[in-house]
Amino acid sequence: MSALAIQPWGNYALALAASVECLRVEPWTQTSSTPEMLRLGVEASPECSCLSFKASTGHFIRAAMEGVPYGVMVNSRGTCRLRYYREAQQKILWERGLNLHIFGLGYDGFKPPLIRYFDPDPWPFLQCCARARLKTLVVDEIEKQAWRLRARECRPGETTRVMNGCLRALREARTTREIRAVSRGVPERFAGIATDPDRPVLRVGLLGEATVLRDRFLNHNIEDLLGGLGVEVCNFFLLGDEIRNIFHIGFNSPNSRRALRRDAAPWLTTPVGGHATESVAHTVRCAREGFDGVAHICPTGCMPEISIRPILRRISRELDFPILECSFDEHSSHVGFVTRLEAFVDLLHDRRRKRGAA
């Protein structure tokens, strides 16, 4: 059977892999990039391209080296450079003599090119999409439990182990019935984790650029690091919401594009591409909903997210709300990043103590 390389997108890779089953190809993906992929990508990419570009280019190069003939890459509409990534990556691969054809997933006609090429039967295709959607929801459910418990666990690393167990079960689930069974078992699996009820737990929102938010190699394992420091995180890149927004369904969802634009409107009305509007809206919401702070994370030079940094600083000032800015590229020092996270957590604890005393 032929294979299809899918960009690593955190644990959503499981759902994305399930979505291509009906195309009669084997998905080639993983839950995070690897140092080797990044090295390959950095060598092949223009220096000024962003970390996400370099990592996904490296991913496709690695796939091509293993003989994978096809790949799929988002190339969504919008003002971010992501729109041209598929073409740029395809050119890089061809110039290196690698025969991997990358399909776009964006709008260029009624059917996305991937569907046009493989032309699956409509009914199995829809069933497959429904299963993938269900897996996405289960991934979200698993991660929410992990975010909550990692900050409170007594034995470091236990939550991650349970989470990986759930994800493996989810990967093996083939039918809707099996996926639902995994979903039902999730609370039970997490219930076994011993927690410390007295630990003061902070709440921090993670927002910014989607790939870096979800790829734990690129974001230096931020969810795990913060969890270890006693912080319950909430990652605001949710694939389910993203898909709903792409297909303009779910108008009344709190995370619909319209609702997000409304919340961002006092600070940002012009679309600047990427997930910039979402970042602004979620920052404002976190401030209102009693989060202790947010971490805004993006690749160095990510145009949309960098454009809103001054806006985020203004929000931080006006709403008296701490925001940690983190930019990543292939040279980012892990030690320096950990230092900043720890100092940020100390700052948030101090604020909380002061508020408690006041």
Partner 1 sequence: MNRRAYLGVDAGSISLNLVLLDADGAVLFEAPYRRIEGNPVAAVGAGLRELRATLPADVEIAAAGVTGSGRHLMAAVIGADVVKNEISAHARAAVHLHPDVQTIFEIGGQDSKVTVVRDGAVVDFAMNLVCAAGTGSFLDAQAKRLNLSIEAFGAMALRAKRPTAIAGRCTVFAESDMIHKQQIGHRQEDIVLGLCHAMVRNFLGNVCRGKEVRPPVLLQGGVSANPGIRRAFEDVLGYPVTVPERHLAMGAIGAALFAARAGVSRTRFRGFAIGEQPVETQGFDCEDCANRCEVVEIVVEGEVIGRAGGRCRKWEATGAAAGEAGESAETLKR
Contact residues: partner 1, CB under 8 A: 11, 13-14, 17, 26-36, 155-158, 160-161, 164-165, 167-168, 171, 216-217, 220-221, 224, 228, 300, 310, 313, 322, 327, 329, 331-336, 338-340, 342-344, 346-347, 350-351, 354
- How many residues can be counted in the chain? 358
Give min distance, CB of 244 to partner 1, in A. Answer: 25
Q: How far is residue 197 CA from its own chain's centroid?
A: 29
Contact 209, 305 (CB under 8 A): yes
* Closer residue to partner 1 (CB): 33 or 57: 33
User: How many angstroms separate the CA atoms of 55 and 46, rounded?
Assistant: 12
* Closer residue to partner 1 (CB): 142 or 260: 142
Q: What does DSSP assign to residue 324?
A: E
User: How many angstroms separate the CA atoms of 155 and 65, rounded?
Assistant: 40
Give min distance, CB of 96 to partner 1, in A. Answer: 22
* Closer residue to partner 1 (CB): 88 or 347: 347
Give min distance, CB of 317 to partner 1, in A. Answer: 9
* Closer residue to partner 1 (CB): 123 or 155: 155
Count of C-beta atoms within a 10 Å radius of residue 11: 26
Distances (CA, A) of 191 to 76, 146, 152, 330: 39, 11, 12, 38
Distances (CA, A) of 256 to 115, 238, 245: 26, 11, 6
* Closer residue to partner 1 (CB): 87 or 342: 342
Give min distance, CB of 289 to partner 1, in A. Answer: 21
Give min distance, CB of 255 to partner 1, in A. Answer: 26
* Closer residue to partner 1 (CB): 215 or 241: 215
User: How many angstroms separate the CA atoms of 166 and 151, rounded?
Assistant: 18
Give min distance, CB of 145 to partner 1, in A. Answer: 16
* Closer residue to partner 1 (CB): 31 or 90: 31
Distances (CA, A) of 301 to 126, 136, 269: 38, 29, 22
Q: Which residues pair with 28 in a beta bridge?
A: 5
Largest CA distance in the chain: 66
* Closer residue to partner 1 (CB): 154 or 249: 154
Give min distance, CB of 330 to partner 1, in A. Answer: 10
Closest to 68 in 3D by CA, of 77, 60, 76: 60
Contact 102, 60 (CB under 8 A): yes
220 φ/ψ sector (left φ>0, alpha ψ -120 to 50, else beta):
left
- 293: helix, coil or strand? strand
Give min distance, CB of 268 to partner 1, in A. Answer: 18
